[in-house]
Amino acid sequence: KPGEQKHPKEPSSLQCMHLAVVACGDRLEETLIMLKSAVLFSNRRLCFHIFAEDSLKPEFEKKLKEWPSSYTKKFESNFYPITFSVGNAQEWKKLFKPCAAQRLFLPVILKDVDSLLYVDTDVLFLRPIDDIWHLLKEFNSTQLAAMAPEHEIPKIGWYSRFARHPYYGTTGLNSGVMLMNLTRIRSTQFKNSLIPGGLTWEEMLYPLYQKYKNYITWGDQDLLNIIFYFNPAECLYVFPCQWNYRPDHCMYGSNCRGAEQDGVSILHGNRGVYHDDKQPTFRALYEVIRDFPFEDNLFQSLYYPLQSKFLDTVHTLCGRIPQVFLKQIEKTMKKVYENRVIVYLGANHRY
C-alpha cells in the first residue's frame, strides 16, 4: 500500500543478528579474525557494530572489502567513534584498557537495536552465532542480559579470592561475551547501592563508577558485576562456560563440563594467549582461522591443519583435551558441507 513502508531498512535489521565489538590500539587484526570466524559459520545475516578509533576505520573498511563477495553479502558493517554519553570521557578511557568501557554505553548509543551480542576482540566463534542468538528466547520476562561465570571453581576464581567490591554469585561474571536485550536494559529501573529507589542504566553508570573506582581492578567488567550483584536473578541469564571458554578452563586441569560434553562454542583467548607461547592450543586455533583462504574447503584448509597443529600442543594441559576444541567446529563444518551438497543437488534436480 502507498506510504506503508516508511522504514525500508527495518526488515533487514529485524532479520539481522547484531554483533558489537570495541577495537582500539593494536586490536585491528584480532577483531578482523573474530569477524571472520562469525561470518564463516553463521547462517542468518549479520549486522556488525564496530566501535573504533578514527584512525582504524579506513583500514577496517579496506580489509572487509577484500573478502570474497560470497561472504561480504552475509553481513553489513556500521562504524562508530568512541564516545561516552555520561561522566568524564578521559576517566572512562583510563578505566582498565583504552576504550574498554565503551561497551557499558551500547544500550544508550544503539537506540534502534533491540538485541545484541557484544564480544571482546579476542573471541573466536567455533559454531554459528545463530546458536547463541537463540538463547535470547530462553530469557524469562525480566532477564535482560546473559553472561558466563568468571570461573567454575571458587577457590581458584579471581573474584572469590581478591575482589574488594560486590560481585555476582560465588565467582563473578566474565563480560567478554555478553548477550543483551537492549530494549529491556533501556526501560528497566535497576536496584543499586546509591539511592533507595531504582535508576536507569544511563543514570547509574557514572555515580556507580565514582563510588567504586578505588576498588575495581577489571574496569567495566567489575562495574557489570556490581550492577548484577544488586539485580541478580531477575535480570541475568547465566550461560554455561562453553559459550565463553578461556585458558582458565583448562590450564589448571579441565573444569568446564559443558565443553567436555559438547565442545567449545566460543573461544575467548584473553591474557594475550593468541600472541605468545603460553597456551599453544588457543594460538593454533587463532592462526588457522587467520590463515584460512575463504573460498577453500573447510575440512582441507581449516580442520586438518588444526588437527596437525594440535599434535604439537599435547604436552600442555589444554592440549591434552583436543576433542574439547575440535568437537563443535567439526560438527559445524559437517553442517556447512551437508547444506552445500543439498543446495547443489537441489539445483541440479531442477533441470
Q: How far apart are CA 215 and CA 112, in angstroms?
A: 34
- How high is the mean pLDDT of the chain? 89
- Please give the average per-residue pLDDT across 299-308, as a whole number: 92
CB 184 within 8 A of CB 144: yes
- Spell out a b/e string for 141-167, using b for 16 or more CB atoms within 10 Å of the CB, else e: eebbbbbbbbbbeeeebbbbeebebbb
Residue 155 has pLDDT above 80, yes or no: no
Q: Between 119 and 94, where is the model more confident? A: 119
Rounded to an integer, what is the distance from CA 323 to the centroid of its chain?
Answer: 22
Amino acid 7: pLDDT: 36
Do 285 and 170 sit in the same domain of this protein? no
In a domain, 264, yes or no: yes
Which domain-ending residue is among 201, 216, 239? Answer: 239
pLDDT, tens digit, for every residue of 185-243? 999 999 988 888 899 999 999 899 899 888 888 778 999 999 999 998 789 999 999 99
Please indicate, yes or no, if residue 4 is contained in any of the structural domains. no
Quote the CA–CA distance of 156 and 253 in Å, as a whole number: 12
Q: Do 130 and 257 share a structural domain?
A: no
Residues 261 and 230 in one domain: no
Q: What is the CA radius of gyration of the chain?
A: 21
Statement to judge: residues 200 and 269 lie in one domain: no
**Cβ-Cβ contacts under 8 Å for 127 (sequence gap 6 or more):** 41, 265, 266, 328, 329, 331, 332
Residues 202 and 318 in one domain: no
- What's residue 10's pLDDT? 41
Q: Are 293 and 170 in the same domain?
A: no
Tell me the longest C-alpha to C-alpha distance in the chain: 71
Q: Is 97 contained in some domain? A: yes
Q: How many domains does the chain have?
A: 2
Q: C-alpha distances in angstroms, 104 versus 50, 101, 109, 205, 229?
A: 14, 6, 10, 8, 16
- Given 172, 206, 239, which residue is the final one in a domain? 239
Asked whether residue 65 is assigned to any structural domain, the reply reads yes
Q: Is residue 10 part of a domain?
A: no
Q: What is the pTM of this model?
A: 0.91
Residues 123 and 96 in one domain: yes
Residues 164 and 255 in one domain: no
Pair (88, 230) in one structural domain: yes
In a shared domain, residues 63 and 87? yes
In a shared domain, residues 203 and 311: no
**3-state DSSP: the chain helix, strand, coil percent, rounded to 5?**
45, 15, 40
The verdict on 233 and 261 lying in the same domain is no
Distance of CA 26 to the CA centre of its chain: 18
Instruction: State the CATH number of the domain containing residue 99.
Output: 3.90.550.10
Range of the domain at 327: 246-345
Q: Is residue 217 part of a domain?
A: yes
Residue owning grid cell 546458536:
131
pLDDT tens-place string over residues 49-80? 999 999 999 999 999 999 999 999 999 999 99
Kindly state whether residue 30 falls inside one of the protein's structural domains.
Answer: yes
Q: What is the pLDDT of residue 280?
A: 96
Is 7 a domain residue? no
- Out of 239, 266, 292, a domain closes at 239
